[in-house]
Amino acid sequence: MAKNFHRGLRIKQTIIAYIFLAIPAIILGIFTYYPMILGVVLSFFRYDFINPMKMVGFSNYAKVFGNWQFLNAMKNSFLYLLVVPPLQLLSIIMAILVNRQMKGINVFRTLYFIPVITSMTVVALSWNWMFAQKGILNYILMGLHFTSQPIGWLTDPKIALFSIMFVTMWKGLGYYMMIYLAGLQSIPFNLIEAAMIDGAKPAQVFWKITLPLLKPYAMFCSVVSTIAALNVFTEIYVMTGGGPYHSTETMGVLIYEKAFENLKFGYSSALAVILSLVLIVATMMNLKFFKEGGVQSYYG
């Protein structure tokens, strides 16, 4: 009797577990996998939301690779990857600075994290105001006599993209800082203590112990920041719309423009597929580079 009861209980628990697994799987299927598959299929059609769909094969892809706008957008997207190394380095430094047991340290952690939870649209509009020709940044620089005329932070094609990169880095700093902070607090203190007893200097402890043990966290942050950099859209669309003269137009902006402004949904889908392949390659490269590291490999 007891055996049958426990068997029935296990069956019931298994069924409930599968139900809980099935619900998010269905949601993912409807809102993620179905649009993704449909996007790949749509890339082989000509579709403008008005006329019937027409099969064109690889014609959209041929047009993409022969278009200067695509090459320019891809160049800007790869250029945006310059955000990743300084962002990770500054995040690690900030995590080390706030990884202290001192009065009021939680206040600083909160202050650094506030930009992360602020809407990107709000952040972009705020920095738009500061970067304006008569904005506060130019006012300060001219008041301190660093420049005699306003700098076109968002109107000069040579520096507009780098200005937006700074905004992206400023907003994401707190997010990656918290991840690295979690990594620092997971490092066994006895490793650091043993190294210091053996005469290791703080710099040696950082390079030989702390940094190798942070490798799994660096892998996650690098993958996420790389994907975010290649996918960047909101701050560019709000601050410059891809201008001036397409100097800040990235793949995300170009995909949106072709789909919702030019109604070239097939062409836009081809762009999205190409970007997805680039993201997969970039992710695999990051995973290969950071495949070793962490506490377990250190003990191993």
**What value, to the nearest 5°, has the Cα angle with vertex 235 and ends 219 and 252?**
70
Say how far apart CA 168 and CA 247 lie, in whole Å. Answer: 17
Banded pLDDT at 209 (limits 50, 70, 90): confident
Is the Cβ–Cβ distance between 177 and 252 less than 8 Å? Answer: no
At 292 the pLDDT is 57
Mean pLDDT of the chain: 89
Taking 90 as the threshold, does the pLDDT of residue 158 lie above it?
yes
pLDDT, residue 5, reads 60
Can you tell me the mean pLDDT for 274-298? 78
Residue 214's region, left for phi above 0, alpha for psi from -120 to 50, else beta, is alpha
Six token digits for residue 168: 């992206």
pLDDT for 293 beyond 60: no
pLDDT score recorded for residue 220: 92
Backbone angles phi, psi at 55, to 5 degrees: -70, 125
How much is the pTM? Answer: 0.87
Q: For the chain, give the percent of residues with pLDDT over 70.
A: 95
Query: Over 60: is that where the pLDDT of 211 sits?
Result: yes
- Two tokens at 219? 């892998």
pLDDT above 90 for 13? no
Q: What pLDDT is recorded for position 2? A: 58
Q: What does the pLDDT read at residue 61?
A: 94
Lowest mean pLDDT among 186-195, 198-207, 291-300: 291-300
Nearest to 244 by CA among 84, 72, 129, 63: 72
C-alpha 186/C-alpha 290 separation (Å) is 18
Least confident range of 29-38, 100-109, 140-149, 266-275: 100-109
User: Distance between CA atoms of 252 and 272, rounded to whole angstroms?
Assistant: 8
| Secondary structure letter of residue 53 according to DSSP | P
For residues 242 and 114, give the distance between their C-alpha atoms in angstroms, rounded to a whole number: 27
Residue with tokens 């290969």: 288
H helices present in 247-289, as ranges: 251-256, 265-289
Q: What average pLDDT does range 18-39 have in this prediction? A: 92
Examine residue 24 and say whether the peptide bond preceding it is cis (omega within 30 degrees of 0).
no
Distances (CA, A) of 9 to 5, 6, 13, 18, 231: 6, 5, 6, 14, 47
User: What is residue 166's predicted lDDT score, i.e. its pLDDT?
Assistant: 96
* Mean per-residue pLDDT, 257-286: 94
Dist. CA 159–CA 244, nearest whole Å: 10
